[in-house]
């Protein structure tokens, strides 16, 4: 009799690649493809509901006076079906790993402790895979990594391939996973692995996981077509260290890739991850031409302190990052039909790097203020505390020394960024009365509904009205919070 296999998507977030709903990452698709599509796929939310032996009612999942249970939101089946699948499974494969943990509006990824607790009662063979199986995982920035230990797992393994040609069959078969996912998802597309720099940034896990290789436009377009045939229409070229350096920044290859996907008429087509050192006018114009509006080129500036850049072997100087933000603004800030600018820069700041001082935080704030004063649009500033993963230069040389030393400064400093940069920036990009179209209602908090575009780094809009979740709405902006907007339906 054929073995019964169940894949559990516990959600993944890496420097290159996101698989937290509403995104669907590459890892569960590759595992599903590797198993030739002969597996059932559940989410960690399905498992949570099952283990709680909860009688699901709307008021428990989405209480009228409280918050929507985002840890239970991304269920794929009824608890009865989940029970049947788990009790008959011979093998359970948990896909997990957070290496750039963030805050998530509509999902709660699981750490190894929770996964182990939930899977312990099962008699099936248990396998751990995904980023957690390589260099570990951590749900909170600023804390030590949780390393993969056998514990309840019979095997810890990565689904690795020597090259993208060998991997293509799994990608193609993996598209069938969509048939088991009822909710709207943005599909994360892999264009490359590893990092183009010979020795990487001090904190980064990407160079530890694999050598640099790019996936050809033909293979990517073939997979996107297959995903499209399986019902997907929203895609992000997000699983690579830098989309601007795709195939050695060859404009012809990049245009071949973009035009090939655009020809499939995706409703959302975005990018992620741009190394500021590779941003140029020609490629930016190509992205603006082919992407759908609302895309963000998230740039890992990490710091604007030149000494910290040097000590941590960072990919870009403060001047480079500033220049890259200017270049993206030149062609990216035109508004599209959903009310969003076409393509804006995003800035990632990382706290706790080697050499960080109080002056580093001042320099970061000064440079961001300078962007504001130069009338630039910056879509969002992502502030994270580093997780020193074993094997990285940061782990070997400094560990959490600078986190411990400077932690007391972080929250007041971050508050200043939110008040002095983010708030005026939001008012600039989304002035009162501005209209946004096609926002998905995702969660409630009491009488307020939170909506976003399905896309990359979407802005959150809170509407003081209890709207039906899972539906799309249009809204007019009525006010500004530090990192989100308030609005009313139009
Ligand atoms: S440039 Fe730095 S942050 Fe980006 S993938 Fe390479 S090592 Fe990681």
Residue 148: its pLDDT value, please? 63
Ligand 1 pocket residue status of 195, Cβ below 6 Å: yes
Strand partners, 100: none
Ligand 1 pocket residue status of 206, Cβ below 6 Å: yes
Average pLDDT, 10 consecutive residues per value, the chain (490 residues): 88 89 96 96 93 74 88 91 92 88 86 91 92 73 65 83 92 97 93 86 84 95 98 95 95 98 97 94 98 96 95 92 97 97 97 97 97 96 90 91 96 97 97 98 95 95 96 97 95
CA distance 270 to 235: 6
Q: CB-based contacts of 400: which residues, under 8 Å, 6+ apart?
A: 142, 144, 352, 388
Q: Where are the alpha helices (DSSP H) in 203-313?
A: 206-209, 217-229, 251-262, 281-290, 306-311
Q: 485: buried, middle or exposed (CB in 10 Å: 19+, 13-18, 0-12)?
A: buried
CA distance 142 to 383: 11
Number of residues written out for the chain = 490
123-161 CB burial, b ≥16 within 10 A, e <16: ebebbbbbbbbbbbbbbebbebbbebeeebbeebeebeb
Closest residue to atom 4 of ligand 1, CA basis: 241
Closest residue to atom 8 of ligand 1, CA basis: 204
Per the structure block, which two tokens stand in for 317? Answer: 């100087």
Residue 69: its pLDDT value, please? 92
pLDDT digits (tens, 9 = 90+) for 75-99: 999 888 999 999 999 999 999 988 7
Using the mean position of ligand 1's atoms as its centre, give its distance from the Cα of residue 200 in Å.
6
Q: How far apart are the first and last CA of the chain?
A: 57
Using the mean position of ligand 1's atoms as its centre, give its distance from the Cα of residue 237 in Å.
17
Residue 147: its pLDDT value, please? 66
- Which atom of ligand 1 is found nearest the CA of 302? 3
The helix-helix angle for 44-52 and 112-119 (nearest 10°) equals: 50
Residue 387: its pLDDT value, please? 84
CATH 2.40.50.140 location in the chain: 434-489
Residue 145: its pLDDT value, please? 67
Closest CA to 279 of 323, 318, 317: 323
Using the mean position of ligand 1's atoms as its centre, give its distance from the Cα of residue 197 in Å.
7
* Degrees to nearest 5, angle at CA 133 with 98 and 190: 65
Q: 273: buried, middle or exposed (CB in 10 Å: 19+, 13-18, 0-12)?
A: buried
Closest residue to atom 2 of ligand 1, CA basis: 201
Ligand 1 pocket residue status of 275, Cβ below 6 Å: yes
CA distance 412 to 234: 38
CA distance 56 to 448: 22
Using the mean position of ligand 1's atoms as its centre, give its distance from the Cα of residue 195 in Å.
6
Residue 62: its pLDDT value, please? 86
Q: How far is CA 361 from the centre of its chain?
A: 25
Closest CA to 241 of 281, 183, 200, 292: 200
Give the DSSP letter string of 93-119.
EEEEEESS----SS-----HHHHHHHH
Using the mean position of ligand 1's atoms as its centre, give its distance from the Cα of residue 391 in Å.
14
- The architecture in CATH of the region 186-429 reads Alpha-Beta Horseshoe (3.80)
Ligand 1: which of 211, 241, 274, 347 to mutate, most ligand atoms within 8 Å of CB? Answer: 241
Using the mean position of ligand 1's atoms as its centre, give its distance from the Cα of residue 235 in Å.
23
Ligand 1 pocket residue status of 414, Cβ below 6 Å: no
Ligand 1 pocket residue status of 12, Cβ below 6 Å: no
Closest CA to 50 of 20, 31, 72: 72
- Which atom of ligand 1 is found nearest the CA of 197? 6
Ligand 1 pocket residue status of 207, Cβ below 6 Å: yes
Cis before residue 22, ω within 30 degrees of 0?
Answer: yes
- Whole-angstrom CA distances from 95 to 69, 87, 477 are 22, 19, 39
Closest residue to atom 7 of ligand 1, CA basis: 200
DSSP strand pairing (472-480 vs 485-489): antiparallel
Ligand 1 pocket residue status of 315, Cβ below 6 Å: yes
CA distance 66 to 319: 45
- Which atom of ligand 1 is found nearest the CA of 200? 7
CATH 3.80.30.20 location in the chain: 186-429
Ligand 1 pocket residue status of 99, Cβ below 6 Å: no
pLDDT digits (tens, 9 = 90+) for 393-406: 999 999 999 999 99
Q: Measured on CA atoms in the order 394, 396, 398, 399, is the torsion positive or negative?
A: positive
pLDDT digits (tens, 9 = 90+) for 436-455: 999 999 999 999 999 999 99
Global pTM reads 0.93
CA distance 287 to 156: 39
Ligand 1 pocket residue status of 15, Cβ below 6 Å: yes
Using the mean position of ligand 1's atoms as its centre, give its distance from the Cα of residue 189 in Å.
18
Report CA Rg, the chain. Answer: 22
Q: Does domain 434-489 have CATH number 2.40.50.140?
A: yes
């Amino acid at each position: 009799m054929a073995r019964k296999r169940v894949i559990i998507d516990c959600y993944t977030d890496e420097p290159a690649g996101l698989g937290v709903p509403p995104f669907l990452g590459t890892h569960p698709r590759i595992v599903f493809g590797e198993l030739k599509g002969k597996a059932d796929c559940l989410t960690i939310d399905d498992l949570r509901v099952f283990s709680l032996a909860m009688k699901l009612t709307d008021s428990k999942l989405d209480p009228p006076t409280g918050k929507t249970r985002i840890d239970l939101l991304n269920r794929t089946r009824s608890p009865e079906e989940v029970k049947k699948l788990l009790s008959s499974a011979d093998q359970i494969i948990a896909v997990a790993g957070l290496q750039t943990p963030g805050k998530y509006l509509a999902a709660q990824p699981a750490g190894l402790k929770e996964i182990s607790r939930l899977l312990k009662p099962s008699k099936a063979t248990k396998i751990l895979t995904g980023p957690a199986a390589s260099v570990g995982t951590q749900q909170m920035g600023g804390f030590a990594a949780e390393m993969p230990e056998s514990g309840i797992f019979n095997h810890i393994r990565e689904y690795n391939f020597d090259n993208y040609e060998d991997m293509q069959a799994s990608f193609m078969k993996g598209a069938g996973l969509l048939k088991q996912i009822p909710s709207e998802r943005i599909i994360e597309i892999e264009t490359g692995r590893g990092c183009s720099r010979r020795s990487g940034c001090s904190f980064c896990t990407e160079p530890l996981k694999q050598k640099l290789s790019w996936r050809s436009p033909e293979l990517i377009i073939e997979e996107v077509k297959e995903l499209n045939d399986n019902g997907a229409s929203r895609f992000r070229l997000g699983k690579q260290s830098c989309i601007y350096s795709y195939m050695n920044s060859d404009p012809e290859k990049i245009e071949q890739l973009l035009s090939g996907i655009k020809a499939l008429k995706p409703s959302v087509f975005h990018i992620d991850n741009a190394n500021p050192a590779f941003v140029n006018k020609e490629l930016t114009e190509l992205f603006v031409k082919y992407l759908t509006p609302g895309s963000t080129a998230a740039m890992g500036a990490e710091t604007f302190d030149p000494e910290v850049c040097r000590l941590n072997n960072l990919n870009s100087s403060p001047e480079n990052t500033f220049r890259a933000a200017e270049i993206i603004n030149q062609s990216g800030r035109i508004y599209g039909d959903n009310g969003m600018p076409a393509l804006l820069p995003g800035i990632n700041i990382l706290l706790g790097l080697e050499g960080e001082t109080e002056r580093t935080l001042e320099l970061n704030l000064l440079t961001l203020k300078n962007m504001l004063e130069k009338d630039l649009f910056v879509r969002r500033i992502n502030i994270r505390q580093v997780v020193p993963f074993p094997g990285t230069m940061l782990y070997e040389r400094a560990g959490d020394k600078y986190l411990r030393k400077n932690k007391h400064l972080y929250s007041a400093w971050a508050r200043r960024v939110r008040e002095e940069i983010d708030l005026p920036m939001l008012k600039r990009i989304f002035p009162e009365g501005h209209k946004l179209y096609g926002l998905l209602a995702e969660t409630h908090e009491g009488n307020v509904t939170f909506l976003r575009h399905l896309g990359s780094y979407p802005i959150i809009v809170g509407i003081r009205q209890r709207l039906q979740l899972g539906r799309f709405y249009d809204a007019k902006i009525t006010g500004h919070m530090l990192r989100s907007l308030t609005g009313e339906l139009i």
